[in-house]
Chain A
């Protein structure tokens, strides 16, 4: 009996391989879900010297997940966990830069809730790297593009424009976004200051052109105010101002378009393709 018992090994091994491959196929067909990681505080308390490596491993895990997503997967199915994980990773290891770029690429566009989450994550990056211009740029862009909060975007760009390496474009962005938020007089004053601070004649000319346009928009705002005072209500559309309060609405060509969020008149850059 003892001698023959080993003969059963071959069929047993075959059976094991059969079950193994069956299990492997079952797991291959299952949809992989991104698992939420524990809180940064818990990880910091338990991992000690390995906390940086762990943050990087969790980041790699999320990258592998994102890389393996099937085309057409609804981003809202994984965005909450992804946002949670990036929040924890960046809180655990704020100096690690990749999660900020990934949060901007994979979260901000999903919806307003996730644009806000991306901005919270980017706030960690701004704290760790106060002189990095990419993070305030992303934050400002999210406020402007995904959250439609031009004044918040302007505030972020204003802070960034004070950084030593900030390009003049940041200060100009502040003006453009402030104008979109309806603060036209402030925008005109800022543009005048910007115009005086540059020696480049071409840029000076561009600023002067914008000042003229902002002044035209300001005239529309004044007309809307007069309309409101006389008729005790705001106009439904700006067309109602013509011809009693304005001879015609100004045309800004491709540069700007008027916005009307009663009682505020704003100027915004037209979106490409719209």
Chain B
């Protein structure tokens, strides 16, 4: 089972590298970050904070582009070019196909984030050394790593959902639209919950249950956003909250991939 998964993941990884999915995005991110240095001229005081936000936002944007324009397409190509038939003709189950493909794309994503993370840290160090200490007083490496881990967690959730949507609907474009809608619901839902929080506590209405139920399906990504800590002087993070967040992530990925495997097992492959 593990051998099948790793072989499939390797194929997806090599295919991604052949299509220049990484190098193109890295060049784009590098260009954005170089351009972003000019943007820093307009931030007179909070240079450290703005720089860290910018580096991680570029990382997020690049990862999002990878998910929408490579991961979604990679799933659609398998069916359009009938690669999926070749793969499933081997002794590989449909569940292994889902898991292997997810693994391959996740490794690509991880590689992308590692490269961008290293590049970003270099740029942050360069900015910190070139401005007065008062404008960039802290740069916490553990929090910087935590921020990238958080970012990768969000991307993995989106990737798992892409696997599910790719099984549910045919074609890359509908999956892309569904993924974008999913993302906006995930970012909008916490705001709706916060807006209604005080009113719902009083009434205890069914709407509260509905909003919580929706958050089970559409998780709150902001719980994995640790950007604010990178340049903050605060020491340590709430570890029990982090542990719960990562446990929820692991369970969410399992459930969604399980769902995707069920969908693929029942799917009529044309």
Contacts and interface: CB of A to CB of B under 8 A. Distances in A.
Interface of A: 41, 44-50, 52-53, 56-57, 59-60, 63-64, 95-98, 101
A50 B187 CA distance: 10
Interface in B206-258: 221-222, 225, 227-228, 232
Nearest to B52: A52
Contact of A49 (B39, B154, B188, B195): B154
24 contacts: A41-B195, A44-B187, A45-B184, A45-B188, A46-B188, A48-B183, A48-B186, A49-B57, A49-B154, A50-B57, A52-B53, A52-B227, A52-B228, A53-B57, A56-B53, A56-B54, A57-B39, A60-B42, A60-B43, A63-B42, A63-B44, A64-B42, A97-B49, A98-B43
A44 B221 CA distance: 12
Contacts of B195: 41
Q: Which 9 pairs, one residue from A and one from B, show the smallest C-beta to C-beta distance?
A: A48-B187, A60-B42, A53-B57, A45-B188, A45-B191, A52-B53, A49-B60, A98-B45, A97-B46
A46 B49 contact: no
Nearest to B154: A49
B200 interface: no
B191 A41 contact: yes
A44 B227 CA distance: 15
A70 B56 CA distance: 36
B45 A101 contact: yes
A94 B186 CA distance: 22
B53 A59 contact: no
A56 B221 contact: no
A98 B222 CA distance: 23
A97 B50 CA distance: 10
A77 to B, nearest CB: 22
A244 B157 CA distance: 84
A53 B53 contact: yes
Contact of B49 (A48, A96, A101): A96
Given A49-B56, A97-B45, 4 more contacts: A41-B191, A47-B187, A56-B39, A98-B43
